[in-house]
Structure 1
Amino acid sequence: MTSIGRHLTIDMYGCNYDHLNNLEFIKTAMLAAIKETNLTLLDLVGHQTEPQGLTVIALLGQSHMSIHTFPEQSYAAIDIFSYGDYTHPDKALTVFKKILRPEKTRMTNIMRGLQKDMKPRIRVSIAPLRRMRNTSARVWRFLRNK
Structure 2
Amino acid sequence: MRTLGKHLTVDMYGCSVDSLNNLEFIKTAILAAVQEANLTLLNLSYHQFEPQGVTALALLAESHMSVHTHPKLGYAAVDVFTCGDLSRPEKAVAVLKSFLKPEKTKTTNIMRGDFGSQKDMKPRIKVSIAPLRRVRNTSAKVWRFLRNK
For Structure 1 versus Structure 2, the TM-score category normalised by the shorter chain is: 0.7 to 0.9
SS in 1 for 2:89: coil
Question: In the alignment, what sits opposite 1:97?
Answer: 97
Cα separation, 2, equivalents of 1:122 and 1:93:
33
SS in 2 for 1:31: helix
Residues 122 and 104 from structure 1, CA distance in 2 versus in 1: closer, same or farther, beyond 3 angstroms?
A: closer
Query: Larger radius of gyration, structure 1 or 2?
Result: 1
What is the CA deviation profile of residues 41-91 of structure 1, one whole-angstrom value per residue up to 9, with x for unaligned ones?
Answer: 000011001110010000000110000000000000000110000000011
Question: In the alignment, what sits opposite 2:122?
Answer: 121
TM-score using structure 1 length? 0.80
RMSD: 1.7
TM-score using structure 2 length? 0.78
Question: In the alignment, what sits opposite 1:47?
Answer: 47
* One-letter code aligned to 1:7: H
- List alignment gaps of at least 5 residues for structure 2: 125-149
* One-letter code aligned to 1:116: G
Question: In the alignment, what sits opposite 1:112?
Answer: 112
Question: In the alignment, what sits opposite 1:75?
Answer: 75
* One-letter code aligned to 1:5: G
Runs of 4+ in structure 1 deviating by more than 6 angstroms, as ranges, are none
Cα separation, 1, equivalents of 2:87 and 2:65:
13
What is the CA deviation profile of residues 98-146 of structure 1, one whole-angstrom value per residue up to 9, with x for unaligned ones?
Answer: 11111001111100111216665399xxxxxxxxxxxxxxxxxxxxxxx
Cα separation, 2, equivalents of 1:121 and 1:29:
41
Following superposition, the deviation at residue 92 of structure 1 comes to 1.4
1:4-83 correspondence to structure 2 within 5 Å:
4-83=4-83
Cα separation, 1, equivalents of 2:92 and 2:62:
14
**Count, aligned residues:** 123
